[in-house]
Amino acid sequence: MEVNRRDFLKVLGIGGAATLTSCSAQPPEKLIPYLIPVEEIIPGKATWYATVCRECPAGCGMLVRTLEGRAVKVEGNPDHPVNRGRLCARGQASLQGLYNPDRIRQPLLKDASGSFKSVSWEEAEAWLAGRLAELRQRGKGSGIAWLTPHTTGTLDQLIDRWLQALGSKRRLRYEPFAYEPIKSANRLAFGLEAIPTYDLESSEVIIAFGSDFLETWISPVMYAREFAAMRTYEHGRMGRLIFIGPRLSLTAANADQWVSVPPGTEGVVALGMVRVIVTEGLSKAVPKGKVDSIKSVVNRYTPQFVSKATGVEPEQLERLARRFAQANPGLALGGGTAVSGQEATSTLVAVNLLNYVTGNVGETVLFGPLSTLSRLSTYREMVALIAAMQRGQVSSLFFSEVNPAFTLPKAAGFEQALEKVPLVVSCSSFMDETTAKANLVLPTHTPLESWGDHEPWEGMHGLMQPAMQPVFQTRSLGDLLLSLAKRLGDAPAAVFKEENFYEFLRARWRELHQRVRPDVEFEAFWVEALRRGGEFKELPARRVRLNVGALPQALKGLELPGQAGSLILLPYPSINHFDGRGANKSWLQELPDPMTQLTWDSWLEVHPEDAKRLAIGEGDLVVVKSSHGEIKLPAHLYPGLKRGVVAVPIGQGHTAYGRYADPHHPNALDTRVKERGANPLTLLAPEPDSRSGGLLWLSARVTLTKTGTKYLLASVSGSDRQHNRGIAQVIPLEEITRGGQEAGHPTKKDHPVRQMYPPHEHPIYRWGMVIDLNSCIGCSACVVACYAENNVPVVGKEEVARGREASWIRIERFAEGPPDRPETRFLPMLCQHCDAAPCEPVCPVYATVHNSEGLNIQVYNRCVGTRYCSNNCPYMVRRFNWFTYEWPEPLHLQLNPDVTVREKGVMEKCTFCLQRITDGKARAKEEGRPVRDGEIVPACAQACPTRAIVFGDLKDPESEVSRLSRSPRRYRIFEQLNTQPAITYLKKIVPGPKEI
Amino acid sequence: MAGYRLTYANVNRDILRTMEPPGKLWYILLAISIAFVALGGFAFATQVRYGMGVWGLTHPVMWAIDITNFVFWIGIAHSGTLISAILFLFRVRWRAPIYRTAEAVTVFALFTAALFPIIHLGRPWYFYWLLPYQQVGGLWINFRSPLVWDVFAVLTYMMVSIIFFFTGLVPDLAVVRDQAKGWRRRLYAFLAQGWQGTDRQWRHYTAAYLFLAALATPLVVSVHSVVSWDFAVSILPGWHSTIFAPYFVAGAIHSGLAMVIALLIPIRRIFRLDPYVTQTHLENLAKLIILTGLIVGYSYAVEFFIAWYSANTFEQGAFLYRVVGDYAWGSWIMIIFNAVVPLLFFVKKIRTSTPWLLGISLLINVGMWFERFIIIVTSLAHAYDPYTWGLYKPTWVDLSITAGSFAWFGMWFLLFAKFLPIVSIVEVKEQLPPPTKAEMTAGAPE
């Protein structure tokens, strides 16, 4: 990576401009790049901008760290109520959207031959305005349709008004995961077609019916944080999670118990629990009359009946029901692709009923504030749009940042219908399968370059501001629409007074200001909102009443037994790629899926017993065929499945989404890899669910045929089992409540340590870390945060398959227990910064040494690459630069200037974010004080949604890290080797045999 | 050739005949060697250009056949010093005709071995940073690192071996000089360093030779001990073992003896040296191999016993993996070829049969190569943390450099066979009765 003087100056110029935006609050386009450095900008000193993450609909608050005018790192905004400073892997990777080498750099117009040619913005706008004017003249203005993802707030209003001005109402907010069954179940049960907010934190017992809330469901970072909080061990108690569903997802793996049931029978379990609760008189806050009528509704769901339908033992069901009823409060969650068959609505009504009889509605299930996801269009509305397109009723289709050609079932016929639309305009940052079919592509800013706002739930207004000047000649969607309106003649132009989107946004926020804070000056309100990342207002909860009369009707369809014989396909949103939008980011491709440990791919999960029956082995390339299509996928034997179910992650199999998503791309990272991933949506039925209008994710029954070819699956895990090596340890709850040091494993502290060399002296600080395995959920946010912070290279699939992935921190996943009832343990592993580090004495050139603050330092300049240090590291956390890895332009702009980019032949590893330590110490020194506890936070600890990683000074006995490292749950890995690691792990607390 | 009587004249003639202009076969062999050296060089150039990643090395197996080759060639280098120095000190008479070849093997094996510590570096262009000199900023090398000990041990051994080899050659070079003409005469005159065969020179020569033999003897033990500490000093199960030093020394001698036999047999045939290198000599080497083979076999047994006896999960895991894991075939090659096959030498018929000797000694060399491979690769592949377990598969670079190293050794040996007397003229003569006048006049029988 080279930065020449010219680039540097350019970047510096942009920097000034971007910094100015924060104080003068002007749209970046209007700024004059400065020539003389502004006093406020100190090269090397970071400026932070608060904005909102738009990588998924959750809308977490984000702080963007910019250096010399370019965004280099994103972190969670601690003031933001959704994520409270945490961020997931996908949020961390938003930078790779901003700097994606395959971003569309200028407007593209499709010519007669069907290929795109670059045009100027002026040409593009004039062309489009001409076409729109023509349409309106021919009276086809009402046929203009707009397709956006989950959009709220100002941009949402702007699009609606723009569309109105042109005389159309065809507006869809399209998300592939639109939670339709939740809405329909709430309408049936409570008369409110909406998605509530959930309070996981106060819950004592959570039962999740298929909802992968730690990965992809609604708001994973928020739920992960709340989940970790409810799991915290306090006063001899801690929260419990039970997961009911056909697949051992990451959420299920974090449950104290995974109850594996055939897909579609979750509702039967819920009703069985309701029956136990109401017949045993355990219900809470339910009027007597209602109890009786509920009793009559659920009467047939005896434990024996449930056991027959689902395989859950009657005693287990009763135990679960009692435990849940005792919880004060409990929370039952339901949803996700695992609960999306024809019985989905009934299942979720059953979950509602379970929440109702245990008094959770209004306690942990809150109808107010409502999630804005309630406003999403249903899949049925998409199908209607496709039909309209087919009929030629859509004169023009505009879309932005959605990819229905990829995320809709192939059989829905979106692509064919698109050909019937005379004018297709894509306002997207990236080329993708849908944009490739557009007539005109207008490249928009990524969220990190845009003004805007986002409202995840009512009253929660996140404010977005550009963190830097646009990387390419792109425009914000708002500005683009306003400028088009101006060109379209007087009537549309008159609708909008504002010059640009920034003004438009301010006008909307003026209204908000009048509503919520009329007492302060608007400018003060605005600047405060920019600084905090938005305006967050608590809204009171609405009361809802259970509609008992509707229950028998609402619960119909649950009795249907699952079809035997054929395999049920369960497509699930990938934690890395969500609906596929993460697939163009190399960090997310290289990040191992936490459950399967596979990278750069999608695969077919088959239960080992089913695989044996079908004579399918690991890595066999298999044709998966349904009545709607077929795809080829490598088989991965996965014991965490109900037999008869096969699962496929959604998100791979792109054909036009840039070099990292599409193996056929001319600039693909690994030219040796010919095929990679497949899209399971090819297999799904196009018909929407008749009750909820949602997509029937569980609709496909598939057959598998071996192709006879072996496929290379790039797994990072050497072994799924610990082989009794005590790496990821657990402690039963009873043992810990019995208390005392004895409870834990004997620690080395009791033995005097004898060494030939004098002990290291740590005169001021001794940095250390505590990792709480009870909090770690394995989500891998830390891994991507580390990639971003430390310029860790991406190596590609072939290299990962060889074991050459470069991540400094990894989440080890181990399975314990019998294969059908696995107990999953996650363990973040990084350099242990041993006090007696085995890597140090073996280096012939002192390239790795111990420093006075207890860090094990790697001196890149000095390293000659004998690799002995790695061989001698029992934790195998050292990474070698097999090649000089490259960052294709402009991804190199993301590189952290505080961290060296390493060249071929040198060893590297976790530094405990040395640059942050240095920065923290410098700040403390400037202010003439010692470093405060918690002031220095490495990237991994900062990102962790569950705060499992705590960093600090071990010399200070009062620091949090010291306090935690005295926990009775403490242990250090391979303590018997006397490496004296600076990282203390806290054992995961597992339920004792008597619990649950 | 039975009944062939050795005389001073015969010795001179027979041995100098080996240095006559080479035949076609020699040129072909040399061309093949150079071609493979060039292939290895190209592979190394690729490595320098693109990085270590062109090797099959990976995480966690960061050393594999690079270090295997290093240890293998260091091991080969052991026989020479053993035969020339130790047997010399013990006044073993049968050493005389074979020690030159053994020493040449030592020197060339060291030439080969010394390449690998440089080749295997991630940044080989900085190899000199491992040398003890005052570097920029006062940097110094880390004396706690076994790799630094390696540098000292190998360089010392190489220097002493070369000097010892050369010293032994001086009187012979004078013989060659006396027979040579033209540029060869000038060359050998320079190499012979003015040797006249005077009493004074002989006195100094024998003293120096004895002294060098005494100096070289402890190196036989020390070099491979130090090399073994590359592994034993680490904390890796399968490496971290106190038995390593004697085990490696015995193994080194084992492979070195086998290599000498494997080279002597064709030399003896090609250059018709049967009267000099007799069956007895080879048999004696075979007997030594029985001893080293038993030591090696014992070491294997002890390793497995200790792993079991230690009750240490990691040790047991490492050794179980060796015999049943992904590389189990290699372990069985190692155990059978090194510890079982040499026992056949207990049978006199076998140890006196040339084909058996050649076959077994080649098998031992294969086995010893695999011994190093198994120790290095299996221990790394299944180290402490099961999550990091991984496999090593060589690429064309690994294999080309390995082939290149064998060719490199062969190239030197071919040059040696034509440019230097492969049997010591002086020492063979020492063991003959001095020529009498009668013989001189009668002439030697042909």
| Closest residue of chain A to B394, computed from CA coordinates | A802
> What are the residue ranges of helices labelled H in A149-265?
153-165, 180-190, 220-231, 250-253
The answer to whether the Cβ–Cβ distance between A844 and B52 falls below 8 Å is no
Looking at residue A511, the DSSP 8-state letter turns out to be H
Per-domain residue ranges of chain A: 108-177+377-448+475-503, 180-361, 563-715, 769-990
The answer to whether the Cβ–Cβ distance between A844 and B60 falls below 8 Å is no
- Map residue A571 onto helix, strand or coil: strand
Q: Which CATH architecture has domain A108-177+377-448+475-503?
A: 3-Layer(aba) Sandwich (3.40)
Kindly report the backbone phi and psi dihedral angles of residue B123, in degrees, each rounded to the nearest multiple of 5, phi listed first: -125, 80
Predicted local distance difference test score (pLDDT) of residue A235:
73
Q: How many CB atoms lie within 10 A of CB A545?
A: 12
Predicted local distance difference test score (pLDDT) of residue A25:
41
Predicted local distance difference test score (pLDDT) of residue A749:
52
- Which residues 45-104 of chain B have a CB within 8 Å of chain A? 50-53, 57-60, 62-63
Question: What residue has token string 């949602």?
Answer: A694
Residue B120 touches partner A, C-beta closer than 8 Å: yes
Q: Cα distance from B132 to chain A (closest Cα, Å)?
A: 10
Contact, A972 vs A984, CB < 8 A? yes
Contact, A957 vs A802, CB < 8 A? no
The answer to whether the Cβ–Cβ distance between B122 and A863 falls below 8 Å is yes
Q: Cα distance from A800 to chain B (closest Cα, Å)?
A: 10
- Map residue A932 onto helix, strand or coil: coil
A815 DSSP β-pair partners: A824
Kindly report the backbone phi and psi dihedral angles of residue B157, in degrees, each rounded to the nearest multiple of 5, phi listed first: -60, -40
Q: Which of A862, A866, A882 sits opposite B51 (nearest CB)?
A: A882
Give the whole-angstrom CA distance, residue A354 versus residue A273: 7
Contact, A659 vs A150, CB < 8 A? no
pTM of the shown model: 0.92
The domain made up of A563-715 has a fold known as: Barwin-like endoglucanases (2.40.40)
Contact, B12 vs B180, CB < 8 A? no
Chain B residues close to A829, C-beta within 8 Å: 385, 387
Predicted local distance difference test score (pLDDT) of residue B446:
38
Q: Which of A844, A862, A905 sits opposite B51 (nearest CB)?
A: A905
Predicted local distance difference test score (pLDDT) of residue B338:
95
Kindly report the backbone phi and psi dihedral angles of residue A769, in degrees, each rounded to the nearest multiple of 5, phi listed first: -145, 150
Give the whole-angstrom CA distance, residue A981 versus residue A970: 12
A148 DSSP β-pair partners: A173
What's the CATH code, domain A180-361? 3.40.228.10
Query: Averaged in consecutive runs of 10 residues, what is the pLDDT profile of chain A (996 residues)?
Result: 52 45 42 45 81 93 90 93 93 95 94 92 94 88 92 93 90 94 94 93 94 94 94 84 94 93 92 94 87 90 92 93 92 92 92 94 89 94 95 94 94 94 94 94 94 91 91 92 88 84 93 91 92 85 84 80 75 94 95 95 94 95 94 94 94 94 90 87 93 92 93 93 92 77 47 76 94 95 96 95 94 86 91 94 94 94 94 96 94 94 95 95 94 95 95 94 93 92 94 68
Helices (H), strands (E): how many in chain B? 18, 0
- Which residues 98-117 of chain B have a CB within 8 Å of chain A? none
Q: Cα distance from B330 to chain A (closest Cα, Å)?
A: 21
Query: Among B431, B421, B429, B432, which residue's Cα sits nearest to residue B100?
Result: B421
| Six-digit token string for A433 | 């399968």
Angle at B128 between CA B124 and CA B129, to 5 degrees: 95
Contact, A248 vs A822, CB < 8 A? yes
The answer to whether the Cβ–Cβ distance between B235 and A977 falls below 8 Å is yes
- Exposure of A198 in the CB half-sphere (CA atoms within 13 A): 28
Predicted local distance difference test score (pLDDT) of residue A30:
38
Which ipTM score applies to this complex?
Answer: 0.93
Predicted local distance difference test score (pLDDT) of residue A249:
95
First to last CA, chain B: 10
Give the whole-angstrom CA distance, residue B59 versus residue A838: 17
* Chain Cα centroid distance, residue B85: 14
pLDDT digits 0-9 by tens, B145-192: 999 999 999 999 999 999 999 999 999 999 899 888 888 899 999 999
Contact, A268 vs A558, CB < 8 A? yes
| Six-digit token string for A207 | 């039962």
Chain A residues close to B123, C-beta within 8 Å: 863-865, 904-906
CATH 3.30.70.20 fits A769-990, yes or no: yes
Mutate to test the interface with B, among A811, A825, A843, A867 (most CBs of B within 10 A): A867
- Exposure of A889 in the CB half-sphere (CA atoms within 13 A): 7
Give the whole-angstrom CA distance, residue B289 versus residue B350: 13
Q: Which residues of chain B have pLDDT under 70?
A: 1-3, 438-446
Give the whole-angstrom CA distance, residue B294 versus residue A665: 60
The domain made up of B8-131+141-438 has a fold known as: Formate dehydrogenase/DMSO reductase fold (1.20.1630)
Question: What residue has token string 């190293």?
Answer: B405
Chain B residues close to A824, C-beta within 8 Å: none
First to last CA, chain A: 55
Per-domain residue ranges of chain B: 8-131+141-438
| Closest residue of chain B to A846, computed from CA coordinates | B142
Q: How many CB atoms lie within 10 A of CB A40?
A: 12
Chain B residues close to A882, C-beta within 8 Å: 51-53, 57-58
Predicted local distance difference test score (pLDDT) of residue A40:
59
Chain A residues close to B142, C-beta within 8 Å: 841, 843-846
| Six-digit token string for A364 | 């942990």
Query: Among A597, A871, A600, which residue's Cα sits nearest to residue B58?
Result: A871
- Which residues 354-383 of chain B have a CB within 8 Å of chain A? 380, 383
Question: B57 vs A330, A803, B239, B391, CA distance in Å?
Answer: 53, 9, 18, 9
- A635: enclosing H helix or E strand: strand A629-637
Chain A residues close to B121, C-beta within 8 Å: 864-866, 905
Query: Among A136, A145, A36, A55, which residue's Cα sits nearest to residue A94?
Result: A55
Predicted local distance difference test score (pLDDT) of residue B91:
84
The answer to whether the Cβ–Cβ distance between B236 and A871 falls below 8 Å is yes
The answer to whether the Cβ–Cβ distance between B234 and A724 falls below 8 Å is no
Helices (H), strands (E): how many in chain A? 31, 39
Query: Among A873, A955, A874, A946, which residue's Cα sits nearest to residue A908?
Result: A873
The answer to whether the Cβ–Cβ distance between A876 and B139 falls below 8 Å is no
The answer to whether the Cβ–Cβ distance between B123 and A905 falls below 8 Å is yes
A vs B, Cβ pairs < 8 A, gives 161
Question: Omega of the bond prior to A938 within 30 degrees of 0, cis?
Answer: no
Kindly report the backbone phi and psi dihedral angles of residue A33, in degrees, each rounded to the nearest multiple of 5, phi listed first: -60, 135
> Would you mind telling me the total number of residues written for chain A in this entry?
996
